Every structure is written in C-alpha cells, then in structure tokens.
Structure 1
Amino acid sequence: MHFTEPVYRNPYWPTWPLIQITQGCTHNSCKFCTMYKDVSFRMQPMDLLEEDLRELRADDPHAKTIQLLSANPLAPAYDRLMPRLELIKKYLPELEHMYTATRVSDLKNKTVEQLRNLRDIGVNEISLGVESGDAWTLKRINKGYAPEDILEQCHKLEEAGIQYWVTFLNGVAGREYSENHAIHTAEIFNQLKPMLVGTGGLTLFPGTPLLEEARRGEFTPLTERELMQELKLFLERLTCDCELNAHHTSSMNLSGPFLARKKEILDSLQYGIDHFDMDKLTKIRNKKRTL
C-alpha cells in the first residue's frame, strides 16, 4: 500500500481498509494546523491507486466500506475524481460506503447532480472540518471560506442526499471573541441538517501560527474552564437534531443523541466548570502532540 505521511483517518469510521486518492491538503494554511505542512497536494497516480486496489481485493474482495485519504480527497474536479472512484468500485464491487473527510470549499466545483453521482457510487457520508460559523473567526484562522459558503455547500449535500458531519473547534477564536464564535456557529449549524456535530478543544501545537501569535500576545488561548464555558454556550444555542461527538480533557461523556441528552450534557458541563481540577486538565492537554 502507498501512503504519504502523515496518515490521518477518522477513528469513528471503519479504520480498514484505507485507500489514498490524494496527497496533502489543497489549503494547508489553517493557523491551528501543521499536519500537511511539508506535503504538497497532488492526486495519487492512477498506477499506484490500481496497485493498492489489487492488494485490497486480494485481502478482502467483499469489502463493504473503505475510507478515502488524504486531507481532502473530494477537492479534485468531478471529471478527475470520478474515474478514481469508479476504479475503486471496479476492484471492490460490493462496496456500500466510501467515507471521507473534506473541506467545505471542495464542494464548490461540483453540482448537486454530480454530488448525487458521488452518493450513488458510495460517497454517502462525509466529514467537514468547519471549525466555526463566525465570519470573524473563520477569517482570523484562515479557513478560506465564509459562513455563507458553509450554508450553500451543506445545503447542496442535503439536496444530493449525502449525510455529513460538521465540527466546532472549541477555543479557536481566543478569549476576546469566544462568545461570538460559540453563538454564531450555533446559528449557522441550526440552519443545517448534519447527522453529527463533532467538537474538540483547541491545542496549540509547535509550529502553528496560532501558537506563535499567542507567544507574541496577539492571541489569548482559553483556559480549561473557559473552554467548558464556551462549549456550554455553543450547546445551549444548538438546536440540531443530530448526534454529538464531543472530546474533552476531562473525559466527560458528552456524546450521543444531542437533543435527547441536551439537559444532561449541559448539567455535566456546569458540574465540570464548578468542580473539576483545571490544573490537572491543563497538564493533560499539554501532553497532546497531534490533532
């Protein structure tokens, strides 16, 4: 198998088999991420893709699922992307789901009809690293799109019948804009129909522009308590009938059917805000090394 490091796969989807159809990230400029800093974006050569597919077919010719790599495999134009997906189906004809993460901007160059074709071949669930629905925050962290783009592209997915995840990056706006980040992201998400909302807290990793800005006093990271307070504000305003997948250094159980658990989740967060050992949680976060 041919993989370009680093390899990231969503642990909540089947983690085997994996197939790389692109390398690196088309954007590669988000201020909180250095994952693909040294990897130039390009399409996986067809001969390598076919070689990998022969190997996968030999191992599991009846595979029902596969996860597409790398950062944003749906970035290529439809006419360049579709032959690769058709090749995957040729070698693994029983596939039912091609899971993938991608960027909101990757959907702009595809029509609803083209997205329906992607759904029909098996791309029926994708994860979007939205991070925020606040215009100032999106610009501040250099995501490369605006709130209206999130709405437009996610509505296209809904029309095409593709299920999708959206993410809220807890803390990415810093202390001064925390409230707007939480409230405006909830407002955007409430206009969508995601199957899942995921959230995790910002960690400032070495080499990221946000860490350098924090060292210069240009960005004020949230404390562990402030992260909980921001997350609570976001979830108070959120009304999506979706699953929630929430990660926190405290290991609180905040995941599950959101509306059914909303009061329980909010009560758990408030208990954490009032009673948890924040120094201990800070030490746990400081030990993190990757996204």
Structure 2
Amino acid sequence: MHFTGTVYRNPYWPTWPLLEITQGCTHNKCKFCTMYKDVPFKMSPMEWIEEDLKELAESDPNARTIQILSANPLVLTYDKLAEVFEMIHRYLPKMEYIYVAGRVSDLKNKTVDELKKLKELGMREISLGVESGDGWTLDRINKGYHAEDILEQCHKLEEAGIDYWMTFLNGVAGRSHSHEHAVNSAKIFSQCKPMLVGTAGLTLFPGTPLLEEAQRGEFDPLSEKEMLEELKTFAENLTCDCCFITHHTVSGRNLSGPDFLKHKDQIISALEREIKHGDLDAMAAIRRSKRTL
C-alpha cells in the first residue's frame, strides 16, 4: 500500500481498509495544526491507487466500507473523484460506503447534482473540519472560509442527501473571544443538519503559529476549567438534533447517540459535574502529553 507519510484517519469510521488518494492539505495554513506542515499537496498517481486496490481486492475482496485519505481528498474535482470511486467498485464490487474527510471549501467546486452522483457511487458520509462558526474566530485561526460558506456548502450536502459531520474546536478562540466562539458556532451549526457534531479541545502543539502567539502574549489560551465552561456554553446553545461526541476535553466521552436534544440536559449536567468536580490537573496532563491532533 502507498502510504506516503503519517496516517491520520477518523477513529469513529471503519478502520480498514484505508486508501490514500491525496497527500497533504491544500490549505495547510490553520494556525493550530502541523499535521501536514511539510507535506506538499498532490494527488496520488492513478497507477498507485489502482495497485493499492488490487492489493485490497486480494486481502479483503468482500469489503463494504473504505476510508479515503489523506487530509482533504474531497477537494478533488467531481471527475477525479468519480474516476477513483468507479475504480473502487471495479476492484471491490461489494463496496457500499466510501468515507471522505475534507474542508468546507472543498465543496465549492461541486454542484448538487455532482454530489448526488458521488453519493450514488458510495460517498454517503463525509467529515468536515469546521472548527468554528464564528467569523472573528475563523479569520483569527486562518481557516480560509467564512460562516456563510459553512451554511451554503452544508445545505448543498443536505440537498444531495449526503450525511456529514461537523467539528467544533473547543478553546481555539482564546479567553478573550471564548463566549462568542461558543455561541456563534452553535448558531451556525444549528442551522445545518449534521448527523454528528464532534468537539475537540485545543492543544498548542510545537511548531504551530498559535503556540508561538501564546508565547509572545498574543493569544490567551483557556484553562481546563474554562475549556469545559466554553463547551457547556456551546452545548447549551446547540439546537440541531444530532449525535454529539466530546473528546480531547473531558475525562470521559459524552455520547448522546443519534438524538442530542433528548440527552442535552444530561450532557450539560455531566459538563457541570466536570467543571465542579473533575480532575482538571489530570486533564491538563493528558493534554500536555499529546503530540499531534
């Protein structure tokens, strides 16, 4: 298999098989991320992709799911993605679900009709690294798109019938803009229909512009308690009925299942308990031990 660097995959999706069709990230400018810092973006040669599919056809000919790598393969044009997906079906004829991650901006080069055709080819679920719905925060962390872009592109997915995930990056706005980040993100997310909202807590990794700004006093990171308080504010203001997952922030994961609104009060109560009684020092130690997203 042609895995050209560190493999980052969604741990909640089936972990095998994996197929790398791109390398690196087209944007590669988010201030909190170094995942693909030294990896130029390019599409894998079709010869490599076909060789990998031949290998998968021998090792797992009955595969029904596949996760596409790397950072944002969704940025490829409809024609390129369709060509890859059709090849997947040739070598893995029982394929049903093709999982793809991407950026909100990756959807701009695709029409609703093209998205519908990609769904017919198996792309039924995608994960979007949204991070925030607050305009100030999106600009501050250099995401490369705006809140209205989130709404426009997510509504295209809804019209195409494709399920999607949205991520909220807890703490990324810093202390001075924490409340606005939580409330405005919840407002934007609530105008969408994600199947899942996942929250991750900011870790300031070496080599990230955000850490360098914090060291210069230009970014004011939240404490563990403040992270929990921000997450609670986000949950209180979130009104879309989805699966809700918290991780990287609390000592345990709060899983609501497919109906967040039904379990909303329980999740908020759990966060309140963490704020009052959680082992914040242990949480901070876990965060300090992390080396990458």
Question: TM tier, shorter chain?
Answer: over 0.9
Distance 2:114 2:253 in 1: 38
Aligned partner of 1:115 in structure 2 is 115
Is the contact between residue 205 and residue 291 of structure 2 (CA under 8 Å) also seen in structure 1? Answer: yes
**Matched residue SS, 1:8:** coil
Distance 1:136 1:239 in 2: 22
**Matched residue SS, 1:128:** strand
Distance 2:184 2:290 in 1: 28
Please give the residue correspondences for 1:56-67 in structure 2 after superposition, counting only pairs within 5 Å: 56-67=56-67
Is the contact between residue 25 and residue 36 of structure 2 (CA under 8 Å) also seen in structure 1? Answer: yes
1:266 aligns with one of 268, 279, 284: 268
Aligned partner of 2:190 in structure 1 is 190
**Matched residue SS, 1:149:** helix
**Matched residue SS, 1:173:** coil
Deviations 1:252-274 (A, max 9, x none): 34112311211111111111111
Aligned partner of 1:221 in structure 2 is 221
**TM-score normalised according to structure 1 size:** 0.98
| Corresponding residue pairs, total | 291
Distance 1:6 1:68 in 2: 14
Aligned partner of 1:288 in structure 2 is 290
Distance 1:44 1:220 in 2: 40
Residue 249 of structure 1: CA displacement? Answer: 4.4
Aligned partner of 2:202 in structure 1 is 202
Which amino acid in 2 is paired with 1:269?
L
Aligned partner of 1:241 in structure 2 is 241
Distance 1:30 1:72 in 2: 13
Moved segments of 4+, more than 3 Å: none
Aligned partner of 2:89 in structure 1 is 89
List alignment gaps of at least 5 residues for structure 2: none
**Matched residue SS, 1:14:** coil
**Matched residue SS, 1:58:** helix
Please give the residue correspondences for 1:33-52 in structure 2 after superposition, counting only pairs within 5 Å: 33-52=33-52
Distance 2:142 2:34 in 1: 13
Distance 1:10 1:278 in 2: 27
Between the aligned residues of both structures, percent identity stands at 65
Is the contact between residue 249 and residue 284 of structure 1 (CA under 8 Å) also seen in structure 2? Answer: no
**Matched residue SS, 2:74:** coil
**TM-score normalised according to structure 2 size:** 0.98
Alignment root-mean-square deviation, CA: 0.9
Distance 1:267 1:261 in 2: 10
Which amino acid in 2 is paired with 1:48?
W
Distance 2:98 2:223 in 1: 38
Deviations 1:177-233 (A, max 9, x none): 000000000000110000000001000000000000000000000000000000000
Residue 287 of structure 1: CA displacement? Answer: 0.8
- For the pair 1:169 / 2:169, whether they are aligned, the reply is yes
Aligned partner of 2:125 in structure 1 is 125
Is the contact between residue 252 and residue 268 of structure 1 (CA under 8 Å) also seen in structure 2? Answer: no
Is the contact between residue 23 and residue 44 of structure 2 (CA under 8 Å) also seen in structure 1? Answer: yes
Is the contact between residue 228 and residue 249 of structure 2 (CA under 8 Å) also seen in structure 1? Answer: no
Which amino acid in 1 is paired with 2:194?
P
Aligned partner of 1:158 in structure 2 is 158
Which amino acid in 2 is paired with 1:279?
D
Distance 2:234 2:143 in 1: 20
Is the contact between residue 135 and residue 147 of structure 1 (CA under 8 Å) also seen in structure 2? Answer: yes
Aligned partner of 1:13 in structure 2 is 13
Distance 1:7 1:283 in 2: 25
Residue 157 of structure 1: CA displacement? Answer: 0.2
Change (3 A) 1:249 1:150: closer
Change (3 A) 1:204 1:60: same
Distance 2:262 2:100 in 1: 27
Distance 1:238 1:135 in 2: 17
Is the contact between residue 245 and residue 253 of structure 2 (CA under 8 Å) also seen in structure 1? Answer: no
Distance 1:48 1:280 in 2: 44
